[in-house]
Amino acid sequence: MGSEVWKRSAALTSIAVALVMAFDEVGFASNGAHAESAEAESDVASDAKVRGIDLGEFRIRSYYPVEAQKSTVRFVMYAGVASEHFAEAQGMVESRRHKIRNEIITATRMAPLAIFEEPGLTNLRRRIMVRLRRTLPELPIDDVFVSDFQLTVKSL
Report pLDDT digits (tens) over 62-100: 999 998 999 999 999 999 999 999 999 999 999 999 999
pLDDT tens string 7-36: 555 555 555 544 544 444 444 444 444 444
Q: What are phi and psi of 79, to 5 degrees?
A: -110, 135
Task: Annotate 27-48 with b (16+ C-beta within 10 A) or e (fewer).
Answer: bbeeeeebeeeeeebeeebeee
What mean pLDDT comes out for the span 41-62?
81
The pLDDT value recorded for residue 8 is: 55
* Residue 1 pLDDT level (bands cut at 50, 70, 90): low
Q: Read off the pLDDT band of 132 (50, 70, 90).
A: very high
pLDDT at 102 over 50: yes
From 59, 74, 67, 55, select the one nearest 131 (Cα to Cα): 55
Instruction: Give yes or no for a contact between 58 and 69, defined as CB atoms under 8 angstroms apart.
Output: no
At residue 39, the pLDDT reads 45
Would you say the pTM of this structure is higher than 0.75?
A: no
Q: What is the pLDDT of residue 48?
A: 79
Question: Average pLDDT of the chain?
Answer: 81
